[in-house]
Amino acid sequence: MKTRFAALVIIFSAVVAVSLFLGPTPINPFLPDETSREILTSIRAPRIAVAVLMGMALGASGAVLQGILRNPLADPYILGISSGASLTAAIGIIGGVTVLGTFTIPAFAFAGAIITGGIVGIMGWKRGGLWPERLLLAGVGLSFLFSALLMLIMSISRDEGIRRAMLWIFGDLSMSDWERVPYGAVLVFGGIALSLWRAKALNALILGDEFAHSLGFAPQTERVLLFVSVGLMTAASVSLGGMIGFIGLLMPHIARFFTGSDNRLLVPASALGGGALLCVADLIARTALPPMELPAGIITAIIGAPYFLYLLRRKDVLSI
């Protein structure tokens, strides 16, 4: 397993390097001129950094969420957090709010994600703990509600911000800059660290609360901590660049081919795989139809949907 994990690290590093130097204008990594260096440092590097952070957050939170819900089809957006973030971000974009400068829309999205996560947590709380079934149902219900409100706002608005809102919702990374990277890195790596800290407990929870309790874990406490880690990572991802689908659903299943089901390896492997996949999707998005750029979320859906259908054909794959 360690050898396969090392291979995944190599693949991740290679994908990041290729994404950095390829694009509408390929750059020679050995002989970059002044213009090329400016493109690398000011445009591509921050964009790739954001893509890596978002992909890592979605991949890791997908692995954690599938464990705490004991559902192989769970992904970070099933809790409705992304829908809440998209609603508040769209309100900020269409309303033309600029009170925090470039941080305005990420701040709106993060606030919406945290508030939605709190509501889901409250609705999922019963008899002194979080219950997977209640979390799932609360998330699905809120997701439908917020999506409907978002469509209502966009349908009655005549503002030019509608196009910007649509691009942001579908994962447009073209506005990425270095200012967003530090706070995103703190939240994403903080969430991953919390998940890894409780990885043994997550392994036990997958086998049932009684088994986890027999090993000395408090199932409800562990579930709350892991839910917090998922909330932090999902909120950070959506606030950095909008909604990106399928990564959180697919990457844990792909990562299990490399590491098995032990979450001490599965969570970081899913994070690395998610970062690599979003880098590939963004590379395709900015090179497929130059000079036009496509939202990366559309590319992940085009890549992810067929592979997901392939996974459904394999009876031995959809398990945790």
Digit-coded pLDDT (tens) for 65-86: 998 888 887 888 788 888 888 8
Q: Which amino acid is at 4?
A: R
- Distance set, CA 32 to CA 15, 41, 47, 203, 291 (Å): 19, 12, 19, 47, 22
Tokens of 267: 């969570």
Look at residue 94 in the predicted model and tell me its pLDDT.
78
Is 135 domain-assigned? yes
Look at residue 206 in the predicted model and tell me its pLDDT.
87
Q: How many CB atoms lie within 10 A of CB 102?
A: 12
Is 95 domain-assigned? yes
DSSP 217-242: --HHHHHHHHHHHHHHHHHHHHHHH-
Look at residue 77 in the predicted model and tell me its pLDDT.
79
Identify the segments of the chain with pLDDT beneath 70: 1, 101-102, 128, 158-161, 314-320
Helix, strand, coil percentages in the chain from 3-state DSSP, rounded to 5: 75, 0, 25
Query: Which among 191, 221, 201, 208 has a CA at the least distance from the CA of 62?
Result: 191
Look at residue 191 in the predicted model and tell me its pLDDT.
93
Please give the tally of structural domains in the chain. Answer: 1
Look at residue 160 in the predicted model and tell me its pLDDT.
64
Is 318 domain-assigned? no
Cα–Cα distance, 103 to 114 (Å, whole number): 16
Residues 6+ apart with CB under 8 A from 280: 15, 19, 303
- Expressed as residue numbers, the domain containing 305 is 2-313
Look at residue 196 in the predicted model and tell me its pLDDT.
94
Is 208 domain-assigned? yes
Is 320 domain-assigned? no
Look at residue 203 in the predicted model and tell me its pLDDT.
92
Q: Which amino acid is at 85?
A: A
Residues 6+ apart with CB under 8 A from 128: 220
Is 279 domain-assigned? yes
What's the full length of the chain, in residues?
A: 320
Q: Which long-range contacts (CB under 8 A, 24 or more apart) does 140-145 make?
A: 140/78, 140/80, 141/80, 142/79, 142/80, 142/83, 142/84, 142/116, 143/77, 143/78, 143/79, 143/80, 143/82, 143/83, 145/80, 145/83
Given CA atoms 36, 40, 41, 43 in this order, what sign does their dihedral have? positive
Q: What is the pTM of this model?
A: 0.89
Look at residue 6 in the predicted model and tell me its pLDDT.
85
Cα–Cα distance, 137 to 114 (Å, whole number): 18
CB 284 within 8 A of CB 49: no
Is 319 domain-assigned? no
Is 9 domain-assigned? yes
Q: How many CB atoms lie within 10 A of CB 288?
A: 12
Look at residue 276 in the predicted model and tell me its pLDDT.
95
Tokens of 157: 């608005």
Q: What is the CATH number of the domain that holds 101?
A: 1.10.3470.10
Q: How far is CA 65 from the centre of its chain?
A: 12
CB 57 within 8 A of CB 188: yes
